[in-house]
Amino acid sequence: LEAAVSRARLLVTVAAFAAAVWGLLVFAVVKPVSPTDFRRNVLQVATSAYDASRTGWLAGRQVLAGQLFSPFAQTAFDDAAKTLSGATKQFGSESPPTAASRQLRDALAPLLDSAVRKLGDASSASEDGDDAALRRAVDDLDRVAGQLDDFIEVHR
Amino acid sequence: VKRLLAVALGVLTAIGGFVDIGDLVASSQAGARFGMAHVWVVVLGVIGICAYAEMSGRVAAVSGRPVFDLVRERLGSRVALANLAGSLLVTVLTLGAELGGVGLALQLATSVNYLLWVPVVGFVLWVALWRVKFDVLENLFGLGGLALVVFIVAFFRLHPDTATLWQQASHPGPPHGEDWGTYWYYAVALFASALTPYEVFFFSSGAVEERWTAKDLSQSKVNVFIGFPLGGLLAIALMATAAVVFHPLSTSVDSLSQAAMPAAMAAGKLGLAAAILGFFAATFGAAVETGLSAGYTAAQYFGWAWGKLRRPAEATRFHTVVMISIAVGVLILLTTIDPVQLTEYSLIFSAVALPLTYLPILVIANDRTYLGNRVNGRLANALGMIFLVIVLAAAAAAVPLMIITRAGGG
């Protein structure tokens, strides 16, 4: 009987612990977004966009220098595009809670848009073997990456 | 000469086989974000795996039985079941990550999406484990993994600012823009990448498969104490090249294509080809090891016939577990989870499961019933205890750090 009681106690403790963890997770998911959370989210998006732009820039430069073979270059651009697409999705997942948050969103949106376009340009130019277009796209990616870096530094 | 060649081959395969997807991902990510500030963790991890791999090799060679077999006998079925549950879960998760790594390496070479490769890789792995000889697999992928030496060459060809790298290595801590939580998150991931549970199970079961005896202990020690540190050097090279290329740009590494980029920048297309070959061999070799480890642990716990050297008809349940583990690994990847992310999760859960693996090894390595006068000496016990404390700390910190840092996102 004693063994059965202690086993039941153990089961209740484990169940209570699991319920508490589950409750915390539910709270974390449904709680309203605070300005601090939103700012953190925006900064994460900007950082991911910066990483993608810089990687695209680096890959483009290596293609121009003849250091990469085509399937690898395409994969590198695809990986950068995937990072950027994840960032864009994350950017659209939360509504800004305050006017200041809206300003932050409006400052980042054009940079994100520009990064998506320029990365696409670089990828297409690399695939087509158009060095002049690739050089232009690489320069543009450098510029966008610089702007994203400034944005991150200002709002960190 | 034959003996020397065998020793050299053992060391070379130990070097090439040391690196797996966990090392590729964690070392490159840490190098890109923190420079060389985590190099001490790699060194610590290598010392830890050397200490425990030597113990498990000794246990297997002297007793003629693998570690997991003895865990159940010595510590009882409950402790062994906890060990089995933890290590099997982590091993299958790691197997999924390795299969994803092979798929990503093939994508780098062909630009065909890794998801299309994953089922093919799973099938080839199953056939290889079924049909190809143990030593052929070990030598082929161990030696193939040596292609990662290209990262050591790349490091020197990139003309690194060694003063800055030394400054980072000698002053551990987060650089500007990073925090301590993220720093420790990557420290735990790197530590776990060196001490993944499957490595010791594979090492001890492999020793039994190859019929090691006490006479082979010196060969085992040479493999461990020379091969593993040199393998660790490859992990450090990956970190260093990422630190040279990505850290000054404040750019994170989130893909295998980024991890390979320094090799291309330093050594062109040939260097890139070597890096991709190294990635392929390292991840496929580790998939072989994790697949077999899943079978070893389950079969040894339940007392089934086991072994790669046994015909499938003689060890049906062992081969079935291996096959199911591969299928589960493939299915995990087909959910479209990012293999790099899967690797990060597998490392963190590895860290949680580490004490379940390493405490029993330490207990058995001190048991004269199995080891006679070859039980741990003072140094092995001191190292074992120190690493057990570190392993416990890493296990306790892993999940809280993952939650606090949003899995390293900051």
Nearest to A54 among B249, B265, B273 (CB): B249
Q: What is the nearest CA distance from A74 to chain B, expressed in angstroms?
A: 6
Chain B residue nearest residue A66, CA to CA: B268
Inter-chain contact A58–B249, Cβ cutoff 8 Å? yes
Grade residue A34 by pLDDT with cuts at 50, 70 and 90.
Answer: confident
A142 Rama sector, left if φ>0, alpha if ψ -120 to 50, beta otherwise: alpha
Residue A64 touches partner B, C-beta closer than 8 Å: no
> What is the average per-residue pLDDT within A6-26?
89
| Contact residues for A150 (Cβ-Cβ < 8 A; gap 6+) | none
User: What digits encode the pLDDT tens for the residues B183-198?
Assistant: 999 999 999 999 988 8
Closest CA to B322 of B294, B341, B347, B303: B294
Q: Show the tokens assigned to B246.
A: 């990505």
Residue A71 touches partner B, C-beta closer than 8 Å: yes
- Is residue B66 within 8 A of residue B205, CB to CB? The reply is yes
Chain A residue nearest residue B113, CA to CA: A75
Nearest to B108 among A54, A62, A75 (CB): A75
Chain A residue nearest residue B176, CA to CA: A153
Map chain A to HEC letters.
Answer: CHHHHHHHHHHHHHHHHHHHHHHHHHHHHHCCCCHHHHHHHHHHHHHHHHHHHHHHHHHHHHHHCCCCCHHHHHHHHHHHHHHHHHHHHHHCCCCCCCHHHHHHHHHHHHHHHHHHHHHHHHHHHHHHCCHHHHHHHHHHHHHHHHHHHHHHHHHC
- Is residue B33 within 8 A of residue B48, CB to CB? The reply is no
Q: What is the nearest CA distance from B233 to chain A, expressed in angstroms?
A: 25
How many CB contacts within 8 angstroms connect chain A with chain B? 68
Q: What are the backbone dihedrals phi and psi of residue A25, each rounded to the nearest 5 degrees, phi first? A: -65, -45
User: What digits encode the pLDDT tens for the residues B67-117?
Assistant: 888 888 888 888 889 889 988 999 999 999 999 999 999 999 999 999 999
Position A37 pLDDT exceeds 90: no
Position A35 pLDDT exceeds 70: yes
Q: Show the tokens assigned to B232.
A: 């660790």
Map chain B to HEC letters.
Answer: CHHHHHHHHHHHHHHHHHCCHHHHHHHHHHHHHHCCCCHHHHHHHHHHHHHHHHHHHHHHHHHCCCHHHHHHHHHHHHHHHHHHHHHHHHHHHHHHHHHHHHHHHHHHHHCCCHHHHHHHHHHHHHHHHHHCCHHHHHHHHHHHHHHHHHHHHHHHHCCCCHHHHHHHHHCCCCCCCCCHHHHHHHHHHHHHHHCCHHHHHHHHHHHHHCCCCHHHHHHHHHHHHHHHHHHHHHHHHHHHHHHHHCHHHCCCCCCHHHHHHHHHHHHHHHHHHHHHHHHHHHHHHHHHHHHHHHHHHHHHHHCCCCCCCCCCCCCHHHHHHHHHHHHHHHHHHHCCCCHHHHHHHHHHHHHHHHHHHHHHHHHHCCCHHHHHHHCCCHHHHHHHHHHHHHHHHHHHHHHHHHHHCCCCCC
- At residue A25, the pLDDT reads 82
- Is residue B238 within 8 A of residue B226, CB to CB? The reply is no
Q: What is the nearest CA distance from B9 to chain A, expressed in angstroms?
A: 32
Query: Chain B contacts of A85, Cβ < 8 Å?
Result: none
Query: Chain A contacts of B101, Cβ < 8 Å?
Result: none
Query: Chain B contacts of A126, Cβ < 8 Å?
Result: none
Residue A58 touches partner B, C-beta closer than 8 Å: yes
> What is the average per-residue pLDDT within A23-35?
81
Q: What is the nearest CA distance from B349 to chain A, expressed in angstroms?
A: 17
Note the ipTM here: 0.89
- At residue A94, the pLDDT reads 83
Q: Measured between alpha carbons, how far is A153 from B326 in angstroms, rounded to an integer?
A: 45
Inter-chain contact B177–A50, Cβ cutoff 8 Å? no
- At residue B188, the pLDDT reads 96
User: What digits encode the pLDDT tens for the residues A102-149?
Assistant: 999 999 999 999 999 999 999 999 999 999 999 999 999 999 999 999
Query: Chain B contacts of A50, Cβ < 8 Å?
Result: 250-251
Q: Measured between alpha carbons, how far is B87 from B245 in angstroms, rounded to an integer?
A: 36
- At residue B201, the pLDDT reads 85
What is the mean pLDDT, run by run of 10 residues, along chain B of 410 residues? 72 76 93 97 95 92 87 86 90 95 97 96 94 87 92 97 96 91 96 89 86 87 89 95 96 95 97 96 93 93 88 91 97 95 92 91 92 93 96 95 85
**Angle B131-B134-B139 from CA coordinates, rounded to 5°:** 120
- At residue B98, the pLDDT reads 95
Residue type for B215, please? K
Q: What is the pTM of this model?
A: 0.91
Q: How many residues does chain A have?
A: 156
Nearest to B108 among A51, A55, A72 (CB): A72
> First vs last Cα of chain A: how many Å apart?
60
Provide Rg for chain B, Cα atoms.
20
Query: Chain A contacts of B252, Cβ < 8 Å?
Result: 47, 51
* Mean of pLDDT over chain A: 92
- Is residue B114 within 8 A of residue B241, CB to CB? The reply is no
Inter-chain contact B254–A79, Cβ cutoff 8 Å? yes
Position A29 pLDDT exceeds 80: no
- At residue B71, the pLDDT reads 85
Nearest to B261 among A58, A70, A82 (CB): A58
